[in-house]
């Protein structure tokens, strides 16, 4: 070949691309295992209870409309119009509290189903505040409307998680009031007839509930003024996107968070009435928290494979520099086996991380691969000095990757600096090389490797 150096570079580049194929397959395996873990979590939630949203309580008033129905009758051979007064149901009215205070403590239990971890919380929730009896409903198309039966209803997204609940209003909790409009509300109690109430009067309430759920707990700020406080022993909260806490404290022993909101921020009575009337309370925004897992083995393994090309680039680049600077000759097969060892690291990392803590899995997989690569390259590199240099390179690579995984916010910066550092080192180390002579030397038979 007239240009053996160019051919050599193209061959090494082809091997590097070839090594990315098994890495891509490992990437897909991580996605598959992550989907399996999510399926296990969904199955567990379907058997117990899932994410929880608490909204309410609401004052629900059934409505009755009086209207006049006209019809034609024949009397004495003549058609006459007869008016008949009738009543019919009209849409139930839902009224959010004037004030709402919610306090919840949610200790978290760590469970496992097989090798997959599950976070289960048992929340103790106190809801208190005041409902206000509304004015009579407005006339609708000249038809008079009146409120009839009154109920207090509370929405819980997964009522199976309610283990205990008490109310200061009545003892008929969870009893179906016979109104199909209220079927979506897991907690319902009879509050009497509207006719016996005075508009503008308040109805105080106080609920205490034990609620079990997984993944997240949210409380809808349905009051005209709402105050929500959450506390837990989980040290890694991810607060809901709807409203950020006004105050928070996060430590190794858990977190405390508080929200204060008014109807200006939430949309007020109109928003909550619309969601309740349309049966869409499950889509209501809430103030709350999700149980974030910072050491998600699948997310970390997935991110690790995204930097696999840097491993291949750095290792093959260092080997190519060794060939250029130290007159070391490596066969393409040796590049393939070295790249294969790099790829196997990511598979080992995933397999071990499913059974032991991620830091242990990473250290074990990295240690095994560093020792294997160092032992394998000892003979072709020829000297202990060169072998030690590559040992230091591998330790630096795996240590840098672990730092990248632990610092997601700075990962791009650190990765860019690593690539720049390698390029700078390569340029400085080869600045005096006569590449024409190096190409001729590459075409000549290799010299025997020096003894260690």
- Nearest Cα to 275, choosing from 15, 8, 58? 58
pLDDT of residue 449: 46
Query: What's the Cα-to-Cα distance from 312 to each of 12, 29, 35, rounded to whole Å?
Result: 11, 20, 28
Count CA atoms closer than 13 A to 309's CA, side-chain side.
9
Query: Which two three-digit tokens encode residue 105?
Result: 């403590």
Is residue 265 a contact partner of residue 288, using CB atoms and an 8 Å limit? no
What's the sign of the alpha-carbon dihedral 293, 250, 285, 131? positive
For 229, residues 6+ apart whose C-beta sits below 8 A from its C-beta are: 102, 103, 104, 256, 257, 258, 259
Count CA atoms closer than 13 A to 343's CA, side-chain side.
20
Tell me the C-alpha distance between 221 and 112, whole Å. 33
SS (H, E, C) 34-83: HHHHHHHHHHHHHHCCCCEEEEEEEEEEEEEEEEEEEEEEEECCEEEEEE
Using left for φ > 0, alpha for ψ between -120 and 50, and beta otherwise, residue 147 falls in beta
* Mean pLDDT (10-residue bins), the chain, 452 residues: 63 83 87 86 82 91 83 72 80 92 92 82 93 85 84 90 86 58 80 81 91 91 94 87 86 91 89 89 89 80 83 80 73 87 90 88 92 88 84 85 75 73 74 65 54 40
Using a cut of 0.85, tell me whether the model's pTM lies above it. no
Based on its alpha-carbon atoms, the radius of gyration of the chain, rounded to whole angstroms, reads 35
pLDDT of residue 451: 43
pLDDT of residue 450: 47
Structural domain boundaries in the chain? 4-38+297-443, 51-291
Is residue 11 a contact partner of residue 332, using CB atoms and an 8 Å limit? yes
Q: Are strands 216-219 and 52-75 parallel, antiparallel or unpaired?
A: parallel
Please give the torsion angle defined by the CA atoms of residues 386, 391, 392 and 397, in that order, rounded to the nearest 10 degrees: 130
Residue 444: CB atoms within 10 A of its CB come to: 8
Burial of 420 (0-12, 13-18, 19+ CB in 10 A): exposed
Is residue 15 a contact partner of residue 339, using CB atoms and an 8 Å limit? yes
């Amino acid at each position: 070949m007239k240009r053996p150096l160019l051919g050599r570079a193209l061959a090494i580049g082809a091997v590097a691309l070839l090594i990315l194929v098994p890495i891509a397959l490992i990437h897909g395996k991580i996605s598959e295992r992550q989907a399996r873990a999510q399926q296990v979590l969904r199955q567990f939630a379907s058997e117990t209870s899932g994410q929880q949203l608490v909204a309410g309580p609401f004052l629900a008033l059934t409505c009755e409309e009086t209207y006049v129905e006209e019809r034609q009758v024949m009397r004495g051979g003549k058609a006459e119009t007869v008016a008949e007064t009738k009543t019919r149901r009209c849409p139930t009215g839902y009224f959010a509290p004037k004030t709402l205070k919610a306090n919840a403590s949610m200790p978290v239990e760590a469970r496992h189903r097989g090798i997959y971890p599950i976070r289960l919380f048992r929340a103790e929730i106190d809801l208190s505040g005041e409902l206000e009896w509304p004015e009579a409903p407005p006339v609708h198309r000249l038809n008079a409307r009146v409120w009839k039966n009154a109920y207090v209803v509370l929405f819980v997204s997964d009522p199976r998680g309610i283990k205990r609940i008490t109310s200061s209003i009545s003892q008929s909790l969870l009893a179906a009031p016979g109104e199909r409009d209220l079927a979506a509300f897991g907690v319902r109690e009879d509050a009497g007839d509207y006719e016996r109430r005075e508009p503008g009067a308040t109805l105080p309430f106080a609920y205490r509930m034990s609620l079990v759920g997984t993944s997240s707990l949210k409380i809808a700020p349905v009051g005209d003024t709402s105050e929500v406080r959450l506390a837990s022993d989980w040290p890694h909260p991810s607060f809901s996107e709807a409203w950020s806490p006004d105050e928070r404290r996060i430590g190794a022993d858990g977190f405390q968070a508080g929200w204060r909101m008014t109807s200006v921020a939430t949309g007020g009575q109109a928003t909550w009435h619309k969601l309740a009337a349309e049966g869409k309370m499950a889509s209501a925004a809430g103030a709350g928290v999700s149980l974030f897992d910072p050491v998600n083995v699948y997310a970390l393994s997935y991110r690790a494979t995204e930097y696999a090309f840097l491993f291949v680039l750095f290792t093959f680049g260092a080997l190519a520099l060794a060939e250029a600077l130290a007159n070391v000759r490596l066969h393409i097969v040796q590049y393939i086996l070295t790249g294969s060892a790099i790829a196997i690291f990511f598979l080992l990392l995933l397999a071990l991380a499913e059974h032991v803590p991620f830091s242990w899995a990473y250290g074990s997989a990295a240690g095994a691969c560093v020792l294997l690569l160092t032992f394998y390259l000892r003979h072709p590199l020829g000297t202990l000095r060169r072998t030690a240099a590559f040992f230091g390179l591998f330790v630096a690579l795996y240590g840098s990757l672990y730092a990248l995984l632990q610092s997601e916010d700075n990962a791009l910066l650190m990765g860019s600096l690593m690539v720049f550092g390698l390029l700078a080192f390569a340029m400085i180390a080869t600045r005096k090389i006569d590449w024409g002579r190096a190409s001729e030397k590459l075409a000549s038979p290799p010299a025997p490797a020096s003894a260690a």
